[in-house]
Structure 1
Amino acid sequence: MIIEHAYAHLPSYREETWPWSVPCVRQLLDEGLRFTAPVTFLVGENGSGKSTLVEALAEGFGLDSYGGSHDWRYASPRGKSALGECMRFDAASGRGRRMVTSWSARKGFFLRAETALDALGREGFSPDHVSHGEGFLAAFRGKFLHPGLYVLDEPEAALSFSSCLELIGHIDRLAREGGQVICATHSPLLTALPGAEIIEVGEHGMRQVAWRELGIVDHWRRYLTDPHAYLRHIVEP
């Protein structure tokens, strides 16, 4: 692992303004966020704040919020977010301590679904003549190679079922080789990775849960068993 604790302290803030109005952000300010496994999944509904968290974690580590490697200059016109500016880390031992304390020793990548291929192109890694999903997989195969901090924001957006399974293999390999992955996702496939920590984000803030306790797992299981039980409330007869 690279980091074991993320935290952010502000002398004062207005709770009614974004992002401080988001429950998981307030909990981060109050308690911090501890990582107990090399792979951590943040799961929650749209608007729950999981993407806000992963973006701030990436920025705090020196990764561009637009997406890309640690050693690539900032492309985002707005620079770091207010939360990213005040993000701090306690390092895990060994390699993690070197990366957190030495800017030049840091390795990592921030991948966000909507800018991934453009960010890769800026770094000279442009998989041509392939689908969006295949471009994503080419990124995992070509950029996620060395121990470091890899932050992912909904990587499953462009991937099929089988491609998600391949991604699980890449994430598992990274973790076994000393890397750390923090991933915001809606995918019950990804979150089933054995040994991964799952943090559910919502109005309650943040809490650690088991895979079988996840709302998305329950909903997908029930939907696949009986789609009509859901669709009868949505689609006109």
Structure 2
Amino acid sequence: MSRRRRAEVERRLEPFVSWVELDAARAEAAQAETGDAFPFTLPCVAALGQRLALDPFVTFFVGENGSGKSTLMEGVAVALGYNAEGGTRNFRFVTRSSESSLGKCLRVARSHRRPRTGYFLRAESFFNAASYIEELDREPAFAPPIIDSYGGRSLHEQSHGESFMALVRNRFEVSGMYLLDEPESALSPTRQLELLREIRRHCLHGSQFIIATHSPLLLAYPGACIYQLSSQGIQKTSYEETEHYRVTRSFLERPRESLSELFAGLEGGTPGEASSTELDRALATLRALADAGERKG
């Protein structure tokens, strides 16, 4: 390998952002200013007292609902200069003031290599970002319409999944920094596989991704760093150790047995009558089935 080629490869391996951590002094000041301990009481946020290393290409955050994935994604995005509701670093719209103070309290380690472009894709507010694009395009301007860089067709005139993929295909460029918060919410399994291909294509050209997801398909990206967010904080894990993989695999291998366990005790009852204890017991059984299947395999 030539010296020039080696230097090019090494530059590609250097992440735009190598780690993130919580600044304790800023966090304390933010709580004093707002009188609100949230989000600093979240175990995943408290765990950021120690630096969290990011993969040069793909880092995943996984965890149950309420574990803090979206809060963490928003905080990292804001710390990197993105709008809390999504978009590029130039987007500055607010439809609902619900941004936490986390972004102002994070330190991020940027390398000398700067991304050519970037985007924060937030599934829950993507509709608002699409509306903001149309609002900007209604204003007089000498530059081409912004929607041209998204494929030229209104994102509102496409299905949720189509508009997501239009963004990825047209707006994402090489050597970019991309933060995706639960992108699978709008995508069919086939479209998720297409997204995996797009992620791979961009990583081969020097891009970096941070993704919060529940999708066992997306989590299969080879070589990715996966962080599990839980009541214990943040732990690095493997694809096969994630509950998303284990439960999905167990269900697909034994759908009837899994459904029988899940529906146990519901016959003769009324909607809403089942207790949370019964549900927890059923889910625990599904997890046990997954564990048994792995041992058998």
2-structure distance, mates of 1:229, 1:204: 31
Farther-moved stretch of structure 1 (172-181 vs 224-233): 224-233
Residue 33 of structure 1 and its aligned partner are, at CA, apart by: 1.3
Q: Is 1:43 aligned with 2:37?
A: no
Q: Name the SS for the 1:72 alignment partner.
A: coil
What is aligned with 1:186? 214
What is aligned with 1:84? 103
What is aligned with 2:274? none
1-structure distance, mates of 2:157, 2:230: 39
1-structure distance, mates of 2:37, 2:99: 17
2-structure distance, mates of 1:161, 1:119: 24
Instruction: Give the alignment's TM-score, normalised by structure 1.
Output: 0.87
The structure showing larger relative contact order (alpha-carbon pairs under 8 Å, at least 6 residues apart) is 1
| Contact 1:37-1:196 within 8 A present in 2 as well | no
Residue by residue, what CA displacement relative to the aligned partner does 1:127-151 show, whole Å, maximum 9, x if unpaired? Answer: 3532211111111111111422211
1:68 aligned partner, one-letter code: G
Residue by residue, what CA displacement relative to the aligned partner does 1:203-233 show, whole Å, maximum 9, x if unpaired? Answer: 1111111111111100001111122333334
Q: Which has the higher strand share?
A: 1
Residue 196 of structure 1 and its aligned partner are, at CA, apart by: 1.1
1:169 aligned partner, one-letter code: R
Superposition RMSD in Å = 2.1
What is aligned with 2:47? 27
Residue by residue, what CA displacement relative to the aligned partner does 1:140-185 show, whole Å, maximum 9, x if unpaired? Answer: 1111114222111100001001100010111112222111110000
Cα 1:156–1:129, aligned 2, differ >3 Å: closer, same or farther?
same
Residue 234 of structure 1 and its aligned partner are, at CA, apart by: 4.0
What is aligned with 1:211? 239
Q: Name the SS for the 1:26 alignment partner.
A: helix
| Contact 1:3-1:89 within 8 A present in 2 as well | yes
Identity percentage of aligned residues: 38
Instruction: Give the alignment's TM-score, normalised by structure 2.
Output: 0.70
2-structure distance, mates of 1:68, 1:140: 12
What is aligned with 2:90? 71
Cα 1:184–1:197, aligned 2, differ >3 Å: closer, same or farther?
same
Q: Name the SS for the 2:24 alignment partner.
A: coil
Q: Name the SS for the 2:210 alignment partner.
A: strand
Correspondence list, 1:83-232, <5 A? 83-92=102-111, 94-96=112-114, 107-123=117-133, 124-125=146-147, 126-232=154-260
2-structure distance, mates of 1:159, 1:199: 22
Q: Which has the higher helix share?
A: 2
Q: Name the SS for the 1:115 alignment partner.
A: helix
1-structure distance, mates of 2:162, 2:252: 26
Aligned residues: 226
What is aligned with 1:2? 16
Structure 1: give runs of 5+ residues left out of the alignment: 100-105
| Contact 1:23-1:205 within 8 A present in 2 as well | yes
2-structure distance, mates of 1:17, 1:162: 41
Runs (4+) off by over 6 Å: none
Residue 107 of structure 1 and its aligned partner are, at CA, apart by: 3.0
2:204 aligned partner, one-letter code: R
Residue by residue, what CA displacement relative to the aligned partner does 1:55-86 show, whole Å, maximum 9, x if unpaired? Answer: 10001111111111112224355375211111
| Contact 1:120-1:139 within 8 A present in 2 as well | no
2-structure distance, mates of 1:74, 1:33: 29
1:17 to 37, 51, 54: 37
Cα 1:220–1:79, aligned 2, differ >3 Å: closer, same or farther?
closer
2-structure distance, mates of 1:118, 1:186: 23
| Contact 1:38-1:196 within 8 A present in 2 as well | yes
Cα 1:75–1:20, aligned 2, differ >3 Å: closer, same or farther?
same
